[in-house]
Amino acid sequence: MKLLHEMQSDDQPWLPWLTGGLLVLTLVTFLLATPVSLLRKADLVGYAVCHQIESHSFAVGGSHLPLCARCTGTFLGALVGLFGQAVVLRRRKASALPPVPVLAVLIGFTLLWAADGLNSYLALLVGYHIYEPTNALRLITGSLNGLTMSALIYPIFNVSLWRVPDDRPAIRDLRDLGLLLLMEAALVGIVLSRQPFLLYPLALLSAGAVLTLLSSVNTVIALIITGRDNSADTWRQALVPIALGLLLGLLQVGLIDLVRYVLTGTLDGIPELR
């Protein structure tokens, strides 16, 4: 009852009920309308954001991951970055961008990701490349770019959500950045090991990472649209906008999947490039 009171203590008492009902309906629809296999459900989430070209994807335990190597690095790398800032560094309400030296390194990571991506697509489309593309390089540059994404999304999320955010950055110096890079290196090592028992954890975490990033961005949008920005003091008070962000993320995935299926006639990656 206390939770419900906190969620309804504003001028929109109907919003928690509407958001919760629509979220449950969307989740149930997704679970029932998609194949029974958890791996196929994860594939459909990945299908919304990734080309899923098999030659560019890691196979673990006889099945390909739901994201290509570059997207695996990007989305899981972002998830690791968010976890590192919130839990490992314990900067849970940090709302400032990293200092200039750290930001410069992060921008450099994204430039590396873009350069490797350009080289890879030139090799794929026109047969020309500066160096031989590999899935390991795609994974590494993707994870570095994912760390950059997390360093930008995290403060924007916090400054939009909390009534009194911490005006300091989560990544305060190169030492903090080095710790997060060690976590990214561990992620790369885990994926490159391709141990069969990692198939389900990596597949489900990949799908979860996609929904986490989409939901984070959509939560910020929802906060602004509903006029709830800078209004939360506790996570309980943040439940409604976060649930609304997740709802929008799920709908976004479903809509993109539908459009892509209509255009390509398949749910198994880009046919011309497989």
Q: Render pLDDT for 128-147 as a digit per residue (tens, 0 to 9).
A: 889 999 999 999 999 999 99
pLDDT more than 70, % of the chain: 94
Q: Tell me the pLDDT band of 12, cut-offs 50, 70 and 90.
A: low
Residue 8 has pLDDT above 90, yes or no: no
Q: How confident is the model at residue 74 (pLDDT cuts 50, 70, 90)?
A: very high
Residue 58 and residue 203 in contact, taking contact as beta carbons nearer than 8 Å = no
Whether 9 shows a pLDDT value over 80: the answer reads: no
Confidence at residue 146, expressed as pLDDT on a 0 to 100 scale: 98
* Per-residue exposure over 212-249, b if at least 16 CB sit within 10 Å of its own CB, e if not: bbbbbbbbbebbeebebbebbeeeebbbbbbbbbbbbb
pLDDT band at 272 (very low <50, low <70, confident <90, very high): low
CA dihedral 232, 78, 90, 216 (to 10 degrees): 0
For residue range 82-118, list pLDDT tens digits in order.
Answer: 999 999 999 999 999 999 999 999 999 999 999 999 9
Cα separation, 66 vs 50, in Å, equals 8
Query: pLDDT at position 11, please?
Result: 58
Q: What is the pLDDT of residues 24-39, one digit of tens each?
A: 999 999 999 988 899 9
pLDDT at position 73: 98
Can you tell me the distance from the alpha carbon of 52 to that of 72, in angstroms, rounded to the nearest whole number? 10
Q: Band the pLDDT of 3: cuts 50, 70, 90.
A: very low
pLDDT in the model for residue 93: 96
Give the relative orientation of helices 69-83 and 100-125 as an angle to the nearest 10 degrees: 160
pTM strictly above 0.75:
yes
Q: Which residue is it, tokens 């309804």? A: 8
- Token pair, residue 153, equals 């999304």
Q: What is the pLDDT of residues 202-257, one digit of tens each?
A: 999 999 999 999 999 999 998 988 888 999 999 888 999 999 999 999 999 999 99
pLDDT digits (tens, 9 = 90+) for 170-216: 999 999 999 999 999 999 999 999 999 999 999 999 999 999 999 99
List of residues 6+ apart from 145 with CB closer than 8 A: 73, 74, 77, 109, 110, 112, 113
Look at residue 273 and tell me whether its pLDDT is greater than 60.
Answer: no
